[in-house]
């Protein structure tokens, strides 16, 4: 008997190898042709504590984390104790024999016999992949891809894997949980949200990133750094977030498509710089990976509570665009889109992600690498009117942008209100004209808004509204309701600003009951819908305990 | 040859008699002597009366936030190492609000010239103490004088091993123009602290006060000896030294980024082949 879908939870202390086994397990599953959704839950510490890495794997598409566990891999005793209650009736526990309690469906592993200390990670990976029915050759290739193919460690890892497979194959077959094999598995990438954001940025021609480390955003610059030399990027760790955003603005003014990545507290420090980007009309992509606040909050957990903050960040009035990816693919495509938008409209664009999506590995179709074009939208020095005016008043509010130093034209940008040539002014007529010019860019931004995705019955009993990373949980909850006979639909927003009510008002009015699902306590997106579209979303599902939304959570909330 | 006149002459928002006027002329003269044309030069400034200076000459300008000129200049330098970049702002902007960035810029050795209009007072906000205000300098905000000891920018820069540390005085315009010429010609981070009076708000450190104390370092002063430089940097009171206090060859910051070798980042294409190779690593 084989399974169509399994939820595997690996748990242990920080430093026990979770960060190695987890991604390797995900990659083995993706290479074998399965879809995966990874959920990482960890504490703000480098050693000790209790961390988990959950992989939900399916032959068919899986879109969200699930709570019930089919295979519990306990690297320490605490994991076995804490998560036993989440096991399905047929759930299997894999644990070291020393602390594996007796009972049915327990795989008590004699790790000491299988491998020496530092190779036990690979042994436990092997036990799990063998139970799941993954070929040993494939797993060995993935392990060698990670640890390299040379040196003593290769032999030790290979031996640990072989020992694990030999030992596991001898077990009572009732303990195995093989996934139905996928014939001719498609070639997919194993990527998490932040890696996809970094790749989306470089695909658009990003050349500069400055950052100050902050969970859960740091893996964006780390991914960029890993490829910086090959792709001709400059990435610099700044002395603080204020420096990071001002460096990025200086680089962007001088022509380098630039991004910064941070989380709530770091973004708070960047806010004056956001306003500077708006005033100097300097392109900039800001990635904000949300975690629960206020202040330091829960540094390693997830939340969607910075929507209003990012939307309003920066004193004064200037246009902006906010994208909120719901999948790892969208992390790539919306980051590219953010670069296109910020270059075209010379105003900041934001990518709003969160810890759950940032750390969530998925199986991703390879992106098209053919003929990638840089998004830099610069005017030709020969084509501009003389004398050149960086902030020339135009019909669409976008002024021809030249780069400093490339011609005899001078490029002057000022954080003070300025005349069309960029110099500071106290002329209040010039002020009014510049305010109106900047605002006219909003019309173009609104024309290019990505409409929300509507799926399901045309006039449903229940319409779920969601944005950003809760997309998958809402889609699966809706599918369950629909299969139980309730006419259901979903309306998902991948762009949360600007909002264009004509794109979705009909959907909201056509539903008997509209339920906004979001990972914050106060219903920020529901409030935005009321402000912008005049729609009162009466029902809300909110999650703010630091964990991602799940289909089970949404359905439980409906029942209560 | 570039002439100082190429940098133009504009009306300003400064008080009559402000030290900024002579400083502005020295900047133009120094750039002309370095044979730098306006379009080759980028001024990055912050906020304050000093930070307005780049608006009163012909050049590329990024007039950003208070205290944040150095990070913006660092980003611009990495994006285009062909630009000659000067940071121009006051003692409050550079030593107060942006103090952390000064430490970082010295450590990085970013190839920019930092011109600090140091009048030992806040001018734009009308007369509060600045980081360099002397003890006992009473203001409306500090009726008994500053509550903290003055910051010594030169001693800090020398102690940190900055690449080029100099002091000028607006009352010595010819000397100042020559210092600026040397600073923009220096490869690496150069700090030029420029003493100037504030005729409206600093009645202590007046033009006459500076004139009486400032003297030019002699020809046989060796700016490459750090201990001697530190001693000179601490000299303040009856006698105040002018000139290049300290100099040290260091590797330029942008050399640490291989990507900058290909030329300005803004005109580099996306390498589709490299991107495809990188995607393979995630298979």
Domains of chain A by residue range: 5-187, 192-364, 378-448, 453-559
Looking at the partner chain, which of A273, A372, A407 has a beta carbon nearest the beta carbon of B272? A372
Three-class DSSP category at A52: strand
Q: Which residues pair with A234 in a beta bridge?
A: A208
Task: Select from B47, B265, B271 the Cβ nearest to the Cβ of A255.
Answer: B265
A231 → closest Cβ in B52, B70, B274:
B274
Cβ-based burial of A18 (10 A; exposed 0-12, middle 13-18, buried ≥19): buried
The boundaries of the domain holding residue B19 are 4-281
Q: If you classify domain A192-364 with CATH, what class do you get?
A: alpha beta
Alpha-carbon distance of B135 to B152, in angstroms, equals 13
Q: Quick count: other Cβ atoms within 10 Å of Cβ A428?
A: 9
How far are the Cα atoms of A49, A347, A431, A525, B62 from residue A320, in angstroms, in the given order? 41, 6, 20, 17, 21
Q: In CATH terms, is domain A453-559 a member of 3.40.50.920?
A: yes
Inter-residue contact A478 to A554 (CB < 8 Å): no
- A189, A239 in Cβ contact below 8 A? no
Q: Are strands A5-14 and A48-58 parallel, antiparallel or unpaired?
A: antiparallel
Answer whether A232 sits within 8 Å of B259, measured CB to CB. yes
Counting Cα atoms < 13 Å in the Cβ hemisphere of A151 gives 6
Segment B82-108, tens digit of pLDDT: 999 999 999 999 999 999 999 999 999
Give the C-alpha distances (Å, rounded to integers) separating A81 from A48, A76, A95, A339, A491. 16, 9, 11, 47, 39
User: Could you tell me if B91 and B130 are in contact, meaning their C-beta atoms sit under 8 angstroms apart?
Assistant: yes
| Strand A35-41, strand A495-497: pairing | unpaired
Tell if the CB–CB gap between B61 and A255 is shorter than 8 Å: no
Residue to mutate among A202, A240, A343, A405, with most B CBs inside 10 A, is: A405
Domain count, chain B: 1
Closest CA to A326 of A498, A465, A493, A542: A493
The candidate with the shortest Cα–Cα distance to A223, out of A232, A214, A235, is: A235
Q: Is there a common fold for A192-364 and A453-559?
A: yes
Contact B101 A372 (CB under 8 A): no
What is the pLDDT at residue A148? 81
CA-closest candidate to residue A192, choices A40, A31, A12, A367:
A40
Per-residue pLDDT of chain B (283 residues; tens, 9 = 90+): 999 999 999 999 999 999 999 999 999 999 999 999 999 999 999 999 999 999 999 999 999 999 999 999 999 999 999 999 999 999 999 999 999 999 999 999 999 999 999 999 999 999 999 999 999 999 999 999 999 999 999 999 999 999 999 999 999 999 999 999 999 999 999 999 999 999 999 999 999 999 999 999 999 999 999 999 999 999 999 999 999 999 999 999 999 999 999 999 999 999 999 999 999 999 9
Give the ipTM.
0.98
pLDDT for A368 equals: 87
Domain spanning A5-187: which superfamily? Pyruvate-ferredoxin oxidoreductase, PFOR, domain III (3.40.920.10)
DSSP string, B130-164: -TTPPTT---SS-TTS-SSPPP-HHHHHHHTT-SE
Q: Is residue A301 within 8 Å of A547, Cβ to Cβ?
A: yes
How far is residue A504 CA from its own chain's centroid? 25
> For residues A322 and A38, what is the distance between their CA atoms, to the nearest angstrom?
25
Q: Which chain A residues are Cβ-neighbours of B70 within 8 angstroms?
A: 243
Nearest to residue A15, comparing CAs of A61, A46, A40, A37?
Answer: A46
Measure Cα distances from A557 to A198, A398, A472, A516 in Å.
Answer: 35, 46, 16, 12
Which residues in chain A touch residue B58, judged by CB atoms under 8 angstroms apart?
A: 410
A423–B55 CB contact, under 8 Å: yes
Size of interface A-B (CB pairs under 8 A): 224
Residues in Cβ contact with B234 at an 8 Å cutoff, skipping those fewer than 6 apart = B152, B155
pLDDT tens figures, B219-261? 999 999 999 999 999 999 999 999 999 999 999 999 999 999 9
What is the DSSP secondary structure assignment for residue A90, as one 8-state letter? E
Going B125 to B127 to B133 to B139, the CA torsion angle's sign is negative
Chunked mean pLDDT (size 10), chain A, 560 residues: 94 87 97 98 83 97 97 93 94 90 88 90 96 97 88 89 97 96 96 98 96 98 97 97 98 98 98 98 98 97 98 98 98 97 98 98 92 80 94 98 97 98 97 98 98 97 98 98 98 98 97 98 98 95 98 95
CATH code of the domain in which B92 resides = 3.40.50.970
> Do A358 and A192 contact (CB within 8 A), yes or no?
yes
Backbone φ, ψ for residue A382 (5° rounding): -75, -20
């Amino acid at each position: 008997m084989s399974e169509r879908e399994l939820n595997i939870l690996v748990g242990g202390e920080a430093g026990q190898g979770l960060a190695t086994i987890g991604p390797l397990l995900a990659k083995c599953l993706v290479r074998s042709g399965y879809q995966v959704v990874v959920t990482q839950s960890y504490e703000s510490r480098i050693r000790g504590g209790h961390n988990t890495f959950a992989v939900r794997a399916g032959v068919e598409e899986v879109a969200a984390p699930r709570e019930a566990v089919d295979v519990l891999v306990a690297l320490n005793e605490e994991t076995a104790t804490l998560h036993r209650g989440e096991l399905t009736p047929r759930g299997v526990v894999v644990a070291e024999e020393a602390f594996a309690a007796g009972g049915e469906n327990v795989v008590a592993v004699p790790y000491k016999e299988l491998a020496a200390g530092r190779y036990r990670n690979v042994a436990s990976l092997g036990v799990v992949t063998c139970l799941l029915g993954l070929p040993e050759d494939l797993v060995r290739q993935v392990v060698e891809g990670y640890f390299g193919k040379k040196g003593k460690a290769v032999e030790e890892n290979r031996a640990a894997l072989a020992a694990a497979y030999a030992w596991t194959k001898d077990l009572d077959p009732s303990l195995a949980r093989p996934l139905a094999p996928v014939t001719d598995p498609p070639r997919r990438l194993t990527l998490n949200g932040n890696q996809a954001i970094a790749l989306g940025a470089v695909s658009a021609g990003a050349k500069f990133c400055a950052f100050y480390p902050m969970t859960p955003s740091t893996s964006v610059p780390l991914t960029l750094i890993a490829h910086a030399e090959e792709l001709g990027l400059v990435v610099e760790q700044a002395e603080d977030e204020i420096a990071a955003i001002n460096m990025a603005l200086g680089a962007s003014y001088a022509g380098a498509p630039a991004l910064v990545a941070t989380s709530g507290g770091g973004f708070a420090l960047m806010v004056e710089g956001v306003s500077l980007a708006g005033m100097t009309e300097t392109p900039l992509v800001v990635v904000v990976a949300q975690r629960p606040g206020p202040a330091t909050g829960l540094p390693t957990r997830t939340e969607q509570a910075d929507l209003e903050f990012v939307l309003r960040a920066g004193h004064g009035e200037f246009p902006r665009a906010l994208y909120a990816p719901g999948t790892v693919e969208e992390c790539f495509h919306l980051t590219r889109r953010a670069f296109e938008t910020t270059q075209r409209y010379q105003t900041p664009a934001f990518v709003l992600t969160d810890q759950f999506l940032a750390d969530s590995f998925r199986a991703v179709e390879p992106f098209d690498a053919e003929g990638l074009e840089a998004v830099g939208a610069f005017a030709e020095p020969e084509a501009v009117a003389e004398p050149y005016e960086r902030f020339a008043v135009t019909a669409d509010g976008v002024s021809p942008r030249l780069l400093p130093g490339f011609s005899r034209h001078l490029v002057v940008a000022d954080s003070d209100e300025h005349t069309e040539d960029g110099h500071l002014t106290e002329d209040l007529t010039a002020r009014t004209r510049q305010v109106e010019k900047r605002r006219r860019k909003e019309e173009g931004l609104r024309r290019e808004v990505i409409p929300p995705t509507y799926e399901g019955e045309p006039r449903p009993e229940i319409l779920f509204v969601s944005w950003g990373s809760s997309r998958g949980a809402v889609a699966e909850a809706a599918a369950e309701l629909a299969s139980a006979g309730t006419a259901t639909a979903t309306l998902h927003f991948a762009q949360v600003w600007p909002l264009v009510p004509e794109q979705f008002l009909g959907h909201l009015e056509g539903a008997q009951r509209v339920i906004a699902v979001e990972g914050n306590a106060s219903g920020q997106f529901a409030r935005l819908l009321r402000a912008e579209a005049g729609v009162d979303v009466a029902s809300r599902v909110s999650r703010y305990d630091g964990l991602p939304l799940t289909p089970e959570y949404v359905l439980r909330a409906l029942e209560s | 040859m570039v002439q100082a006149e190429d940098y133009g002459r504009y009306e300003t928002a400064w008080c009559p008699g402000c030290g900024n006027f002579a400083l502005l002329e020295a900047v133009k003269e120094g750039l002309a002597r370095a044979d730098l044309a306006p379009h080759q030069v980028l001024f990055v400034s912050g906020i304050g009366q000093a930070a307005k200076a780049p608006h009163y000459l012909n050049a590329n300008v990024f007039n950003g936030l208070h205290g944040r000129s150095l990070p913006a200049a660092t980003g611009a330098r990495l994006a285009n190492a062909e630009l000659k970049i000067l940071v121009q702002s006051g003692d409050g902007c550079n030593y107060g609000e942006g103090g952390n960035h000064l430490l970082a810029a010295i450590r990085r050795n970013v190839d920019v010239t930092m011109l600090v209009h140091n009048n030992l007072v806040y001018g734009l906000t009308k007369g509060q103490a600045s980081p360099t205000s002397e003890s006992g300098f009473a203001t409306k905000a500090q009726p008994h004088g500053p509550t903290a000891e003055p910051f010594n920018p030169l001693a800090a820069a020398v102690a940190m091993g900055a690449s080029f540390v100099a002091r000028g005085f607006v009352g010595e315009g010819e000397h100042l123009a020559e210092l600026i010429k040397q600073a923009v010609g220096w490869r690496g981070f150069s700090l030029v602290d420029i003493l100037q009076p504030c005729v409206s708000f600093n009645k202590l450190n007046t033009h006459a006060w500076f004139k009486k104390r400032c003297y030019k370092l002699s020809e046989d002063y060796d700016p490459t000896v750090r201990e001697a430089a530190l001693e000179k940097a601490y000299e303040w009171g009856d006698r105040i030294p002018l000139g290049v206090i300290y100099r040290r060859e260091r590797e330029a910051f942008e050399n640490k980024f291989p990507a900058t070798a290909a030329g300005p980042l803004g005109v580099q294409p996306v390498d589709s082949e490299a991107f495809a190779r990188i995607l393979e690593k995630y298979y």
